[in-house]
Chains A and B, each alone.
Chain A
Amino acid sequence: MSSPEPMSSPEPILEARGLVKKYGQVVALNGADFEIYPGEILAIIGDNGAGKSTLIKALSGALQPDEGEISLGGERINFRSPRDAQRAGIETVYQDLAVAPALDIASNVFLGRETRRRGPLGSLLRLLDKRGMRREARRQFEELGIGVQSIGEAVGNLSGGQRQGVAVARAAAWARRLVIMDEPTAALGVKETGQVIDLIKRVRERGLPVILISHDMPHVFELADRIHIMRLGRRVAVVTPKTHTMPEAVAIMTGATPSELDNVLAKKGSPE
């Protein structure tokens, strides 16, 4: 099973080699590789505990791997905090942890990156440019086709789908290189899930590559250009919706179908 690569652009935008992360006795990542190419949606699937979340946390600066290397646009990088990854142009939408409910929509979009008024009001009195931030947030929402009644509404008053919309808009507004989404539809109803899926497509239309973690196979097969399959802390295969069916992908994910890695492990004697 070979890794299919898009023909247009052979250079991965983000790449990782041999990532290892241990929590005491537990090996969350056991030499994981990863790459994503410009303009694609890459889905990551795997059973619980396969290392999906740990992998994207390493890619988004939320944790530091014990071993292995990550490169962005061909350059070695070493994110020490989520802030570092953001500065490099990588934005992440986390499962459940998306927003600050007490703050309004515009404040959430600009959280951690607030703009201040010009002149001494901003530099000396640190006064926020609330109007400017609202205008910019509204523009962003219109571009992504997210309907909200009021940009000044507290996020806590919104529905789950609208909240996730805020989180995605926030990521899309700031990402220059890449957007990572961890189970963006896990807590949503059918209709809201559809809205978020449309949003993800629109983010790709803007030319931003998207890493999507999801348990929902039909959505993965609808959205993804390529599917990265994790098992036991490693990437065991990369397939596409064109070359594989859903049951085949699930079989690889659960280990029912031996992958290349299993053959290697069988020869060496598996450490697990």
Chain B
Amino acid sequence: MGPTRTLQLARRLITAPTVGPFIALVLTMVFFSLKTDRFFQAQNFSLVLQQVMIVGVLAIGQTLVILTAGIDLSVGTVMALGQVIMTKLAVANGVPVVPALLLGVLTCVGFGVLHGGLVTGVRLPPFIITLGTLNIAFALTHIISNDLTFTGLPKLELFWGRTFSISGTDFTYGVVLMLVLYALAWYGLNQTAWGRHVYATGDNREAARLTGINTNRVLLSVYTLAGLTYGIAAWLLIGRTQVGDPNAGQTTENLDSITAVVLGGTSLFGGRGTVIGTLIGALIVGVFRNGLTLIGVSVIYQYLVTGILVILAVSVDQFLHRRNG
């Protein structure tokens, strides 16, 4: 390897989009390690991963949508609706577990198709569409559940909460599924033509169309796949909470998924970003919440901190966007 080669490699490493978020994650971890002994422990890391799991999976769908210069405000409530359908059908309606799960996932996919259809067909802004479906899914969740919490769930619905042990530390299967989904999303975005069309469409929809890309099909596929990730997140949520709770997933999840994407270096203007960055972003959010809890900061201040974090990350994005013109 010649000196220019090494230089090129070094430059590529420094300019890689995930480097900034990664440094932020390390600094956060160093900070909390210095603040409390309870932070830097395998068991605590396992807990952080479990706490990150739901937002992490939602953020995959959110990344796809934001890469196309869209936004999805409804992620948490659509997941909550899927979760209520899965558990209610199984417990109260006596539907076998597999169709119950399938119907829950399909409901979330249906919301994705609806978003995609409205974005491409009616050409409405995603912000308004998903603000609408946020409320629709919220209402449906409470109507369908009748505000009841469903317990005594079939084993399969609780599967992702089960744990396995690696040298004394417990991990849930849900965390493994999250990592697998990240790997799949990375593959799709980086190794297939579809991924390039997602980036091109997000960067400039009209230019992509003129290049010969069927941008409507790309957008529809993105919103549909996003819906699928919310459906999977619904199943994971049941594994995490062990019940079907109509109030779960409706408070912090919406904003946290966007926070994770933005902290991970994906541009809200579309066309730039990585799914690995989003995983790091989700971990930053998780480490912050976990660390602040460990050092005894009240939940209200956690909102304050994540709010500031998001605005900072968006400011950096805006700055970079302006500089790159």
Given A100-B271, A107-B196, A127-B191: A94 touches B324 (CB 8 Å cut-off): no
A34 to B207, CA, bound (A): 25
- Contact present for B192 and A128 (CB under 8 Å): yes
- Contact present for A102 and B193 (CB under 8 Å): no
Given A102-B272, A103-B199: A82 touches B192 (CB 8 Å cut-off): no
- Contact present for A112 and B271 (CB under 8 Å): no
Cβ proximity bits B180-217 to A, threshold 8 Å, 1 near / 0 not: 00000000000111101101100110111111111000
A143 to B203, CA, bound (A): 29
Given A112-B197, A128-B192: A101 touches B271 (CB 8 Å cut-off): yes
How many CB-defined contacts (below 8 Å) exist between A and B? 68
A111 at the interface (CB under 8 A from B): yes
Shortest distance between the CB of B210 and any CB in chain A (Å): 5
- Contact present for B191 and A97 (CB under 8 Å): no
A60 to B212, CA, bound (A): 11
A101, A112, A128 — most chain B CB neighbours (10 Å): A112
- Contact present for A101 and B207 (CB under 8 Å): no
- Contact present for A94 and B200 (CB under 8 Å): no
- Contact present for B204 and A82 (CB under 8 Å): no
A98 at the interface (CB under 8 A from B): yes
A111 to B208, CA, bound (A): 9
Q: Which of B191, B204, B212, B324 contacts A112 (CB 8 A)?
A: B212
Q: Which residues of B contact A204 (CB under 8 A)?
A: none
Q: Which residues of A contact B206 (CB under 8 A)?
A: 97
A117 to B190, CA, bound (A): 14
- Contact present for B324 and A101 (CB under 8 Å): yes
- Contact present for A94 and B207 (CB under 8 Å): yes
Q: Which residues of A contact B191 (CB under 8 A)?
A: 126-128
Q: Which residues of B contact A191 (CB under 8 A)?
A: none
**Chain A residues at the B interface, C-beta cutoff of 8 Å:** 60, 62, 81-83, 86, 92, 94, 97-103, 107, 111-114, 116, 126-128, 150, 156
Known: A82-B209, A100-B207. 9 other contacts (CB 8 A): A83-B214, A92-B210, A98-B207, A100-B196, A100-B211, A101-B203, A101-B271, A111-B208, A112-B213
